[in-house]
């Protein structure tokens, strides 16, 4: 423990959510209760010298112009899809982009970038990111590249997660980057505390928070905003994802449901009737609210919390398909509903710089 107290490393037998031996709250925080190192940490002098790891990370990050976190209060709101498509869009604008996946227990970024099955390689400069075949401007790093099988579960406590995230920011050689996009897991857990700490010296340009419109999701977004304020991360804005279903009428399925609950597909009949009676409808979009937004959604919450609202992205089956296939939604017109919304949000982000 003595050596860990000197270099600031979190001991392997520390409690979950350990603030670190060099923290002012070491041995005093609620997370320290019952830890075998509690007394040593609380009495140990705090080293006034800068943490050498943070200095090394700052040197590694010196070639990265902008570092952006993508956060969410809850899972299942499309945060990683947004991170992937944001990275695609920036790279397609001839910018050098890195996408760092720190969702240690649920790494979905490799699939969403079409990179499943790739491995991490090491050079004399450090770990090399995995690059997207269709766009060499976009490099990716994720624990997903290190798993023997994509179905393998990662069952790690805080200190081990903390160690891998440190390796990601200290040992990965990104080269010259315009943007490093960091895709974090939902909530405010060890991964968030770690990335905020490790990038403290080099600085984080801000965070984008992705949510859905209903209050159940927004409750946790408020906590996410509070977290950012406590650790000194600027909130660049909030994105309301899955903001209503929107798709071409001709792509809809139609059915009849009997009183007994038996369902019959009548899609062909319905579309033929529309072609015969009102063909102009086939060029329109069908819209429906999936989540309750009657209380104002993310836009109202942003006004109340004093943070920017970046815009809405509709639930688009074509965007979901692009994510499943690991490709950019901007490469063709099939995702035009969601792609236009995403493009407007990304233009706002670039204008904030």
**Binding-site sequence positions for ATP:** 73-80
Helix, strand, coil share (%) of the chain residues, nearest 5? 40, 20, 35
State how far the Cα of 333 lies from the Cα of 83, in Å rounded to an integer. 20
What count of Cα atoms within 13 Å lies in the side-chain half-sphere of residue 240?
Answer: 24
DSSP codes joined into one string, 250-313: GG---EEE-TT--EEE-HHHHHHHHHHH-GGGGGSEEEE--S--TT-HHHHHHHHHT--EEEEE
Residues within the annotated binding site?
18, 32, 35, 41, 73-80
Beta bridge partners of 142: 101
Backbone φ and ψ of 161, nearest 5°: -60, -45
Angle between helices 52-60 and 190-198 (to 10 degrees): 80
Q: Smallest Cα–Cα separation from 282: which of 306, 307, 250?
A: 250
d(CA 219, CA 52): 38
User: Which residues are annotated binding-site positions for [4Fe-4S] cluster?
Assistant: 18, 32, 35, 41
Contact call for residues 207 and 234 (beta carbons, < 8 A) = yes
């Amino acid at each position: 423990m003595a050596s860990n107290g000197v270099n600031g490393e979190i001991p392997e037998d520390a409690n979950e959510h350990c603030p670190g031996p060099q923290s002012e709250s070491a041995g005093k925080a609620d997370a320290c209760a019952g830890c075998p190192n509690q007394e040593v940490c609380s009495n140990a002098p705090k080293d006034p010298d800068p943490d050498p790891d943070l200095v090394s990370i700052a040197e590694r990050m010196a070639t990265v112009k902008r570092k952006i976190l993508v956060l969410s209060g809850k899972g299942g709101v499309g945060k990683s899809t947004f991170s992937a498509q944001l990275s695609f869009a920036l790279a397609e604008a001839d910018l050098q982009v890195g996408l760092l996946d720190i969702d240690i227990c649920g790494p979905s970024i490799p699939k969403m970038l079409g990179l499943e099955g790739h491995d991490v390689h090491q050079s004399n400069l450090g770990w090399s990111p995995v690059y997207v075949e269709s766009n060499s401007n976009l490099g990716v790093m994720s624990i997903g590249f290190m798993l023997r099988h994509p179905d393998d579960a990662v069952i790690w406590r805080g200190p081990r997660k903390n160690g891998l995230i440190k390796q990601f920011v200290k040992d990965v050689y990104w080269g010259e980057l315009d943007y490093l996009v960091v895709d974090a897991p939902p909530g405010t857990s060890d991964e968030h505390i770690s990335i905020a700490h490790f990038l403290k010296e080099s600085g984080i340009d801000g965070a984008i928070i992705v949510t859905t419109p209903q209050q159940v999701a927004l409750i946790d977004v408020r906590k996410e905003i509070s977290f950012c304020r406590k650790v000194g991360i600027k909130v660049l804005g909030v994105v309301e994802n899955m903001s209503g279903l929107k798709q071409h009428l001709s792509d809809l399925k139609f059915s009849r449901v009997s009183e007994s609950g038996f369902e019959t597909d009548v899609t062909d009949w319905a579309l033929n009737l529309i072609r015969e009676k009102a063909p102009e409808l086939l060029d329109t979009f069908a819209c429906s609210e999936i989540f309750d937004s009657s209380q104002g959604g993310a836009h109202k919450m942003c006004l109340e919390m004093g943070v920017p609202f970046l815009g809405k992205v509709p639930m688009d089956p074509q965007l979901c398909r692009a994510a499943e296939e690991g490709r950019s939604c901007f490469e063709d017109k099939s995702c035009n509903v969601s792609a236009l919304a995403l493009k407007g949000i990304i233009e706002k982000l670039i204008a904030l710089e």
